[in-house]
Structure 1
Amino acid sequence: MKWKWLSSILLLALMFSLCSQPQESSHFNTSLDDTRYPVVEGYRTRIVSLAPSITEILFALGAGDRVVGVTEYCNYPPEVLKLKKEGKIQTIGGYSTVNVEKVVSLNPDIVIATYGNGIETIETLRKTFKLYVIAFDPKNVSDVERQILTIGKAIGNYDEAEKLVENMEKRLRKVEEEAKKIEKKKVVHILWNDPIYVSGKETFIDEAITLAGGENAFNFSGWKIVSIEDIISANPDVVIVNSGGGMGGGEDLLYKWFIGEKRFQAINATKNGKVFIIDADLISRPSYRIVDAIEQIQKFLR
């Protein structure tokens, strides 16, 4: 079970990597999705979401009452769980294990997917079942903003999408100003401990750390397995661990492991009480809530 959860987190993370700065909403091209498929503007009444991040965006745009299908991992906002329990929203499988027949049975007028669902699944829905599918592969905050605007256009909620992106950019500008006041600290982000997975450069988590005013303690690219000795050698000023949701042992599983490991007692983060937990969903999903994660990381750096 833990490997299924970890592989989902890593898959979401890999779909959302590299770094860039936010752009003005007027500069985004919303005429095509990330597969170069035309985006047709219109009001959609039966929407299927194939990713937790997409579901979060749809509800934030005020289209939750038009969502008829989501994945088993879609759990935010809490209203989603309530609607699934009541049978008002159907579950269409997992993130990378979409039940195509279930999607088709819901008779959607739009399906919104990500590359993590698999290009084969996307093309099957389009070509075999003639469904209108738009898909996204966000790699950074700017991509998330463009994704939001494009979804807004495709479902008839563009004004709401613009307001959501404007709010994100306003908050990011504040983060940028606050970052100038913060002494730069070395940060290690740990996804899991058995084996120990950490975030390196050219990842969306590295972007979040950088925007918040910190510096990644590891210089390699992507997500890699490291040893306890590697972390001790990096001697981070701040350690951020994912919540243990879905992997057993409680939300503070990784925190307890790190604090309880005697060999970590000598590093700056432990000595100065700078070991923190961050919601794994918050930091791993390319939705508007990534700004919440960046703001939270900035608080950790103060």
Structure 2
Amino acid sequence: MSKPTHPRRYKGLVIMVVAVVAIFAASHWWRQSLDQAVARSYPPSDRSESTPRIVALSPSAVEIIYQLDLAEQLVGVSRFCQFPPEVSSKPVVGGYLDLDFEALLQLEPDHVLLLVEQESLAQRLQQLGIETISVDHTSTTGIIDSIEVLGSAFGKEDKAHSIVRHIRERVQQVRQQYPAPSPPPRVLVCISRDTSSAHPDRIIAAGNAGVHQEYITMAGGRNAYRGAIAYPSLSREKLIQINPDVIIDLIPEKVWEKADRDQLLQAWSSYSELKAVQNQRIVIIHQNQHHIPGPRFPDTLEAFAQAISPK
């Protein structure tokens, strides 16, 4: 049997504990402890795997879920998921960097779908007892493989095979319809820029990784950026040094709807030194889907092919 604690010693112990908790509360580990406490408050229920509850955080994964006819099983998404339009009716659990763990756990998901880049988040969710499935959407092969993986995971193998077959047929059609030019033009893909500026500024380009640089090659071009950065930020001097033959400018749909469209194109004229400007090879692509490496990527490939190998 333990002995009673002396009052003064007890008071000192209380003060020490309060101090330790205050420090702990400011730390990353306190957040993890809180997450675990929330998990205990909302334990996942014992349900049949025939009707899994799915939360998908990436727009590309959400698109695959809908194409696999699993919309009813999708119980939560991130704020970035906007397609198809009916996804707006799904509960939102925050974003990549500010995921609302309590909201997520209240949805009692059986599976959370993540991108492979979100490994630390996957580990954290697994610590909370949530099964995760990570998909690789950094390449077209990864996108296709993820459709097969998710189809197998949720009993939609036949549907997945059908989707993959259609994607491959579309890719083949695009490549036949737009033969690669020789020599291949040097193409710069502008992933984002400051569209409020009088001239393109704060340019983020497709670098040496990701699906956009793959689209360039598949569409018959060559990436004008030859550095080692996946998504480089280009200064005016660097852009002039690269001097691409073709510029594909990806503009968000909301910007396209509100902006002066002629001005968006005209802004590039301030780079009169560029071959792409001199030869009028600036192409604006404005649908949001072209930023998303999902199952609709053949449409993006076709848009790139039209820009690189115009008929």
Q: TM-score range by the shorter chain?
A: 0.7 to 0.9
Name 1:34's counterpart in structure 2. Answer: none
CA-to-aligned-CA distance 1:192-213 (integer Å, 9 cap, x gap): 3342221223332111010011
Q: Does 1:172 align with 2:179?
A: no
Q: 1:224 to 1:253 in 2, by over 3 A?
A: farther
Residue 295 of structure 2, aligned match among 284, 288, 292? 288
CA-to-aligned-CA distance 1:211-241 (integer Å, 9 cap, x gap): 0111111211322122223323333222111
How far residue 121 of structure 1 moved from its aligned partner, in angstroms, is 2.6
Q: Does 1:274 align with 2:281?
A: yes
Name 2:17's counterpart in structure 1. Answer: none
How far residue 261 of structure 1 moved from its aligned partner, in angstroms, is 4.4
How far residue 243 of structure 1 moved from its aligned partner, in angstroms, is 1.0
Q: 1:44 to 1:96 in 2, by over 3 A?
A: farther
How far residue 111 of structure 1 moved from its aligned partner, in angstroms, is 1.8
Over the matched positions of the two proteins, sequence identity in percent amounts to: 26
Residue 211 of structure 1, aligned match among 218, 237, 256? 218
Q: Could you tell me which amino acid in structure 2 is paired with residue 185 of structure 1?
A: P
SS at match of 2:112: strand
Name 2:267's counterpart in structure 1. Answer: 260
Q: Could you tell me which amino acid in structure 1 is paired with residue 243 of structure 2?
A: N
Contact in 2 for aligned 1:243/1:253 (Cα 8 Å): no
Contact in 2 for aligned 1:144/1:287 (Cα 8 Å): yes
SS at match of 2:232: strand
Name 1:234's counterpart in structure 2. Answer: 242
Name 1:201's counterpart in structure 2. Answer: 208
Name 1:36's counterpart in structure 2. Answer: none
Q: Does 1:64 align with 2:71?
A: yes
Name 2:100's counterpart in structure 1. Answer: 99
SS at match of 2:175: helix
Q: 1:249 to 1:173 in 2, by over 3 A?
A: closer
Q: 1:249 to 1:165 in 2, by over 3 A?
A: closer
SS at match of 1:195: strand
Contact in 1 for aligned 2:138/2:209 (Cα 8 Å): no
Q: Could you tell me which amino acid in structure 2 is paired with residue 95 of structure 1?
A: Y
Which residues of 2 match residues 40-119 of structure 1 at below 5 A?
Answer: 43-81=50-88, 84=89, 89-116=90-117, 118-119=118-119
Which residues of 2 match residues 18-57 of structure 1 at below 5 A?
Answer: 43-57=50-64
Q: Does 1:191 align with 2:191?
A: yes
User: How far, CA to CA, are the matches of 2:296 and 2:262 in structure 1?
Assistant: 22
User: How far, CA to CA, are the matches of 1:202 and 1:255 in structure 2?
Assistant: 31
Q: Name which structure has the greater RCO, CA cutoff 8 Å, separation 6+.
A: 1
Contact in 1 for aligned 2:76/2:104 (Cα 8 Å): yes
How far residue 110 of structure 1 moved from its aligned partner, in angstroms, is 2.1
Superposition TM-score, scaled by structure 1 size? 0.75
Superposition TM-score, scaled by structure 2 size? 0.73
User: How far, CA to CA, are the matches of 2:191 and 2:78 in structure 1?
Assistant: 22
Segments of structure 2 that go 5 or more residues without pairing to the other structure are 1-48, 194-200
CA-to-aligned-CA distance 1:277-297 (integer Å, 9 cap, x gap): 224742332311222111110
CA-to-aligned-CA distance 1:28-74 (integer Å, 9 cap, x gap): xxxxxxxxxxxxxx533421111111111101111112211011110
Q: 1:202 to 1:227 in 2, by over 3 A?
A: same
User: How far, CA to CA, are the matches of 1:279 and 1:45 in structure 2?
Assistant: 35
